[in-house]
Amino acid sequence: MSAAVDHLDERLRDDGESLEEIMPSAITLAMMLRHRTMAAWMRIEFDGYSDTSELPPYRRDVPGHIVARSPQYGWIPAPVDDKQKQDFGHRDMPEGIKSLEKTCMACKKGTGHRIVFDKEEMATLQAHINLTAELAITISRDSYNKLLRVVRCALYLWAQELMEHGLSGDHNSYSAQEREKVAHLDDPERFWRKALEDNADLPIPDVRETGFFERFFGRTG
């Protein structure tokens, strides 16, 4: 597992590399640099947030479409008004990168992933719209992709600044002087906030779709 900054940068720009595959190397690099705050952020992004109060803004209130299960027609748009859309038509996303990326990859472009409301929230919404049907919210593939891009772009921006400070080339370890030179970069919020602003302009690939054979046989190589 290479932890070289150059290699991390290359992998982040490679559309054949998943974020799930890249993040362990990024965490290793952060630990080598004594970037404990960066490493902690990466780990919680990788594993998921157990405390939703700690969710960063790019994981909060992700918009979706409320749907209802019809016995005749399957899932159809639910009869909700604008106020109900505002109150219920969004979801916090605490899941880990692996789960989010797998869901996104399984969705074809223009589609999304349906998440059934929990019992309490469903009962509240059913009462509001006078409907007994099962209710869910569909989060678009694009919304999953945007969230994952923020994390990937944040790592890319971090790697870029590390290289700008001279941390290129192969390293089995970093000297105290090298670590001190980049100590101020141990700030994940700095990078994810910049990623939120600039990610459309960065050379980072969107999440790819799972191919036909991969769906049935898994990824090889």
pLDDT in tens, 94-144: 999 999 999 999 999 999 999 999 999 999 999 999 999 999 999 999 999
Q: Identify whether residues 65 and 139 lie together within a single domain.
A: yes
**Which structural domain, as residue segments, surrounds residue 72?**
61-144
What is the reported pLDDT for 168? 80
Residue 111 lies in a domain: yes
The count of structural domains within the chain is 2
What is the reported pLDDT for 126? 96
The amino acid sitting at 162 is L
Q: By percentage, how much of the chain surpasses pLDDT 70? A: 93
Of the residues 115, 144, 173, which one is the last residue of a structural domain? 144
Give the pLDDT confidence of 143-163 residue by residue, as tens digits.
Answer: 999 999 999 999 999 999 999
Say whether pLDDT at 208 is over 50. yes
Residue of 164 and 171 predicted with greater confidence = 164
Residue 187 lies in a domain: yes
Residue 36 lies in a domain: yes
Residue 82 lies in a domain: yes
What is the reported pLDDT for 215? 46
Question: What does pTM read for this prediction?
Answer: 0.90
Distance (Å, whole) CA 150 – CA 197: 9
SS3 of the chain: helix, strand, coil, percent, to 5: 55, 10, 35
Q: Identify whether residues 88 and 15 lie together within a single domain.
A: no
Of the residues 105, 129, 144, which one is the last residue of a structural domain? 144
Q: Identify whether residues 198 and 177 lie together within a single domain.
A: yes
Order of strands, sheet of 135-140, starting from the edge strand that comes earlier in the sequence? 74-77, 65-70, 135-140, 112-116
